Amino acid sequence: MSRLQQLVQRVILIIIVLLLVDSFTVEAQTGNSRFLFGRLQRSNDKTAVSFGIVLNKTQKVNAISDSSGFFTIQAAKLDTLIISRIGYFQKIIVVSDSLLRKQKNFQIDLLEKAYDLKHVTIAGLGTYQEFKRKVVEMKLPEEEFLMNPSIKSSFPKKVIVLQPQMSIPLGSPVTALYMMFSKEGKSLRKLGEYMEKGKEADKFKHKYNPVLVSQLTGLIDAELEKFMVYCNVTNSFLETANEYDVRKKVADCFEQFKKEVIEKEQKP
């Protein structure tokens, strides 16, 4: 055998050994989970997508991107990653060998979408004027305190137009007594309290609403309503909570809801 042939055989042997080592390395990596480092970004301008949810459906683990879009999640070969964020189309990624080999953050582009909100008419309440009339005509319990007829006779007989407000200006002592004990005065206070509660809830609807809860939990209709009553997210919590706090609150409540409500209902 010539010297050239010996050299060729050695080169071939070295190549075979390197291929075997690489194959064993890949097999070892794909057989075990490892941490993947990625970043969520908008597809149009590559800016960060914060508080996006990255779910490893195979291993039942999830991660949330930080304010810069970065996240870390455990994954193995052929695991399915589901990426979702309100205002963006959902994305599904199957983990490959090349993805596992990446040493740097891999970029995930998310495409923004617009929601087509249908017009909703609440027939139960009717117009504001109808609602005001119902409150004014609402039957109230009899007054605990009987008024002196001489004082009651001095009240004005004309119709009083009610305006929704929380602070009721009191003038003369007669007007103060009228607003305190009459049905119209009680109706006015009740209407003001109702309007104030509605304004308070509207301030936080961008943080916590049925559309958000349904997307995070997958619940709809009666089950969604039952869960939101069960979770009982208060206005005091929403006042200081950020988007991450709200999502975590919903996730924690949903775990308890599945154990205490859904599993019990499914038992024979």
Q: What mean pLDDT do residues 44-59 have?
A: 92
Between 4 and 228, the more confident residue is: 228
Q: What mean pLDDT do residues 23-28 have?
A: 46
CA dist., res. 85 & res. 164, Å (int): 39
Residue 108 has pLDDT above 80, yes or no: yes
**Residue 70 confidence (pLDDT):** 92
Count other Cβ atoms within 10 Å, centred on residue 166.
11
CA dist., res. 65 & res. 197, Å (int): 34
pLDDT, tens only, 36-45: 889 999 999 9
**Residue 42 confidence (pLDDT):** 93
**Residue 99 confidence (pLDDT):** 84
Kindly report the pTM of this predicted structure. Answer: 0.35
Report the greatest alpha carbon distance in the chain: 133
Q: By C-alpha distance, which of 104, 265, 258, 134 is closest to 194?
A: 134
For residues 154 and 176, the answer to whether their CB atoms sit within 8 Å is no
DSSP line for 1-43? --HHHHHHHHHHHHHHHHHHHHHHHHHHHHTS-EEEEEEEEET
CA dist., res. 238 & res. 268, Å (int): 38
Domains and CATH numbers, the chain: 31-110 (2.60.40.1120), 128-202 (no CATH), 210-266 (no CATH)
Residue 264 has pLDDT above 80, yes or no: no
Confidence of residue 25 (pLDDT cuts 50, 70, 90): very low
CA dist., res. 262 & res. 256, Å (int): 9
Residue 123 has pLDDT above 70, yes or no: no
